[in-house]
């Protein structure tokens, strides 16, 4: 099985492009959302770690946002609880799809958390800063302060770009994107 990791800046369109590959996608952000909604064990751990912010199950993103805004130590507490669970979900996903020709890993902190393997194919999604900013402002519940805190967790975009095997330019035109993804896929397979 070929593991294809999708890298890029927040808001560059990684998740959208990941789906265009046509292979099973592991989306870490979706998994985190599921953990907040369905995982009582995570709720109990977060409630214990952040008793002044986490009040109810399912966990509301507003509670998480308030905890993050109150201090960077809170973000580290959240990461300590959530990341191991996301890793378990990813391992289940990989086991379930072990007979597929390829899988797509849409994990924002793929390199930072050393989830990638040496032989993974890394694809960088390159988008213009002004296009990214325009898209982020249209996101529901967009908070620029939280965005800045999350950005600090990530490697600089230039480093991710250098470590990538392929670069897909995202000009947010679906037709061109499909064409570019197919071209990269042909090279990989």
This prediction's pTM = 0.90
**Which CATH number goes with the domain that contains 148?**
3.40.50.300
What pLDDT score does 146 carry? Answer: 82
Among 140, 123, 142, 141, smallest CA distance to 184 is for: 123
Considering 59, 81, 96, which residue would you say is the last residue of a domain?
96
Gap between the Cα atoms of 92 and 130, Å rounded: 37
Q: What is the residue whose two structure tokens read 């959302």?
A: 33
Domain boundary among 73, 96, 119: 96
pLDDT tens sequence across 15-49? 999 999 999 999 999 999 999 999 999 999 999 99
Helix, strand and coil percent figures for the chain, each rounded to 5: 55, 15, 30
- Whether residue 109 is found in the same domain as residue 189: yes
Q: In the beta sheet, which residues pair with residue 100?
A: none
Question: pLDDT > 90: what percent of the chain?
Answer: 72
Q: pLDDT at position 173, please?
A: 81
Give me the number of domains the chain comprises. 2
Residue 9 sits in the same domain as residue 63? no
Of 96, 119, 134, the last residue of a domain is 96
Task: Give pLDDT, residue 85.
Answer: 95
Looking at the fold, whether 69 and 119 belong to one and the same domain comes out as: no
Distance between CA atoms of 70 and 135, rounded to whole angstroms?
26
Give the pLDDT score at 182. Answer: 94
pLDDT at 132: 84
Q: Please tell me the predicted confidence (pLDDT) of residue 6.
A: 97
pLDDT at 166 over 90: yes
5 and 82 together in one domain: no
Q: In terms of residue numbers, what domain contains 76?
A: 28-96
Predicted confidence at residue 113, as pLDDT, reads 87
Among left, alpha and beta (phi > 0; psi -120 to 50; other), residue 22 is left
pLDDT digits (tens, 9 = 90+) for 168-187: 999 888 888 899 999 999 99
Q: What is the pLDDT confidence band of residue 152, given thresholds at 50, 70 and 90?
A: confident
Closest CA to 145 of 71, 61, 50: 71
């Amino acid at each position: 099985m070929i593991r294809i990791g999708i890298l890029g800046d927040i808001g560059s369109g990684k998740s959208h492009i990941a789906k265009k590959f046509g292979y099973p996608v592991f989306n870490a952000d979706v998994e985190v959302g599921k953990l907040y909604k369905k995982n009582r064990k995570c709720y109990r751990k977060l409630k214990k770690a952040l008793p002044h912010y986490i009040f109810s199950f399912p966990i509301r993103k507003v509670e998480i946002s308030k905890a993050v805004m109150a201090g960077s130590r809170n973000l580290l507490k959240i990461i300590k609880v959530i990341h191991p669970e996301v890793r378990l979900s990813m391992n289940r996903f990989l086991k379930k799809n072990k007979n597929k020709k390829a899988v797509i890993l849409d994990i924002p902190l793929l390199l930072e958390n050393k989830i990638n393997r040496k032989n993974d194919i890394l694809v960088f999604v390159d988008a213009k800063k002004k296009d990214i900013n325009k898209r982020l402002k249209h996101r529901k519940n967009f908070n620029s302060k939280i965005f800045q805190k999350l950005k600090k967790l990530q490697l600089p975009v230039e480093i991710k770009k250098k470590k990538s095997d392929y670069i897909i330019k995202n000009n947010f035109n679906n037709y061109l994107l499909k064409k570019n993804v197919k071209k990269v896929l042909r090279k990989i397979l």
